[in-house]
Every structure is written in C-alpha cells, then in structure tokens.
Amino acid sequence: GIQVEQSPPDLILQEGANSTLRCNFSDSVNNLQWFHQNPWGQLINLFYIPSGTKQNGRLSATTVATERYSLLYISSSQTTDSGVYFCAVFTGANSKLTFGKGITLSVRP
Amino acid sequence: DTEVTQTPKHLVMGMTNKKSLKCEQHMGHRAMYWYKQKAKKPPELMFVYSYEKLSINESVPSRFSPECPNSSLLNLHLHALQPEDSALYLCASSLLPFLSSGNTIYFGEGSWLTVV
C-alpha cells in the first residue's frame, strides 16, 4: 500500500517563529488532507489539498503531486498551534485514509 | 456546519460491562467511519459504513460491534473489552463513501475509553 512519511517527527518553536512541515507519499493520490490534533484529541481539518496551494490565515499548504510531497507552513506560531499535525492520503482504491505518523509541534511562550 | 458529535467524551468500563459509543452528523454525509487511536500513534481505521451498510471491517475483534441505525447516526457497541482496548475512538464522516477528489473527511472530538 501507499507509504506516507512526515518530517520532522518533533519540532520545538519559540512563539512567533515560522515552520515548515513536510509530507512525502509513495504513490499518486487524489485526496490529501492536513489535520491538527489538539491536546484534547480532536482532529481538526486544516486543508484539503491534493494539489496546488491554499492559505488560511497564518497557515498555508502546498502539494506538488507530480513530486509526491506536501508542505504545511505555519507563520508567526502561537502556543495554541501546539499539538500533532497529520498528513493523510487516499489513493482511490477504497475508503481507507492512510495517515502519516504525525509531527509533534511544541510552541513555547 | 461541519460537525460530528460524539458521546460520551470519556468512558471507563470494566471488562464484563456492555457500553456504547455514539456518533451523530447532520451534514447529509453518506459515509461514516470508526477509527481507533492509541497514544502517540496515528488513527487506525476500524469500520466504514457506506449508505448505512457496513462496507469495510478491518478485521476488528467481535467484541466491537458497529451499528448504523440511520444515515445520521453511528454506534459502536462494546462488550467484554480488554485493557489493551483503551484508546481514543474517533468517529468521522464524509459526503461520499469514496474519498475521491473534493470529498473531505470530518472527525468528531473522540471518545476516550479506559477499560479496567
């Protein structure tokens, strides 16, 4: 099946710093989503982005489908950005979403 | 409204108990999902319901029994669980069963289950 790798596994930032989170996938996809899981467990949709670039406030994402990677940019980080960021992809074979292992982000005040 | 509601938020149950987790969405979505998530791991798919019929069972033990009474509701019945079943259980839904182009999946807040 498809492999999804996220990097770095852990990231510690000072409040106000910028960061880039990466997601590599091993096969072509027709659905890619970024999620933020907060400390209470809720998985929050950030972006649906199988290709192209999207922006939402301080967050933006770019997926280069031909090169099989996606990037999530966080600018001017805040302590509320802390949590785990998951990239998840779907290849169309069934309803199974394949998650990466996640990136744990800690933003220090 | 992109909301998936799960109850209860927290559940502690003994190994001989029978309990249920509930999930509800009013977005008109025709696919609903149960995921299980252990600490520091990504969510793992358990079941998929497509148009109220079970379409995927990821070889889940029979002590977990899903039920989809109607297009808005999804239950997970729990019986004779083991301590290793303690985890966060996430419900999700999507407009269509196949997560193809433009079909986003939405997750609930989850139910934290502890088996003692």
Interface contact A31-B101, CB threshold 8 A: yes
DSSP-derived letter for residue B78 is E
- The pLDDT of residue A31 is 87
Contacts of A99 in chain B (CB under 8 A): 42-43
CA distance B92 to B62: 21
Q: Which residues of chain B have pLDDT under 70?
A: 1-2, 99-101
Contacts of A40 in chain B (CB under 8 A): 109
Q: What's the pLDDT band for A92 if we cut at 50, 70, 90?
A: low
- The pLDDT of residue B96 is 83
Interface contact B101-A30, CB threshold 8 A: yes
Give the residue from chain A lying closest to B39, CA to CA. Answer: A41
Residue A85, beta-bridge partner list: A36, A103
In sequence order, what E strands does chain B have? 4-7, 10-13, 18-25, 31-37, 44-50, 53-57, 64-70, 73-79, 87-94, 105-107, 111-115
CA distance B113 to A12: 30
Render pLDDT for A4-38 as a digit per residue (tens, 0 to 9). Answer: 999 999 999 999 999 999 999 998 887 899 999 99
CA distance B10 to B21: 10
Give the residue from chain B lying closest to A48, CA to CA. Answer: B104
